[in-house]
Amino acid sequence: MLRIFIIIPVLLIPLKSIAETLVLEKRSYTYNGVTTNFILEVDVADIEETIKLDPAKDKLPLSMQKAINLATSAYKEEYGREPRSVASVTLTHFSSWDYDNRWYFLVDLTGNPSVQAAVLFNEKVVLPRKI
C-alpha cells in the first residue's frame, strides 16, 4: 500500500508573520449596572511603523493638541457622540523591550463609555474593544 504524507506549508510560516498585538490595558466599565470589559491592544506592525525617538532629545512628531483631537474624533466616530471630557494625556513608551524606544500618547476620555485611546506618532488612533 502506498502512503502519501503531505507536509502542510502553513506549519513552516515563522511566528513573526502571524498577527501579533501588544496589550496596553484591560479595563472594566460599569454603567447603569451593566459591566463591560475592554482591552486596548496595538498591532505590532503598527508599532513598527512609528519612529524611534528619545523624547528628552528629539522633537515629538505629534503635538498633544493634535493627539487629543485625533482621539476625540475617533471616539465620536466609534460611539456616535463626543466624549464628556479629556481626563488626562500621557506620553508613554510601549512596555516591551523590543519597542521601548517607540512612544505614543495615551488619552483618557470620560463619557459613556470612559476609555483610554492610544494615539501613535503616525497619527493612528487605537480604541479599546469589548471582550
- CA pseudo-torsion sign 82, 87, 91, 93: negative
Pairing of the two strands 103-110 and 21-31: unpaired
Please give the DSSP secondary-structure letter assigned to residue 74: H
Look up the pTM and report it.
0.80
Please tell me the distance from the alpha carbon of residue 43 to that of residue 94, in angstroms, as a whole number: 12
* Segments in the chain below pLDDT 70: 1-19
- The predicted structure's pLDDT at residue 96: 81
Please give the DSSP secondary-structure letter assigned to residue 4: -
- The predicted structure's pLDDT at residue 4: 54
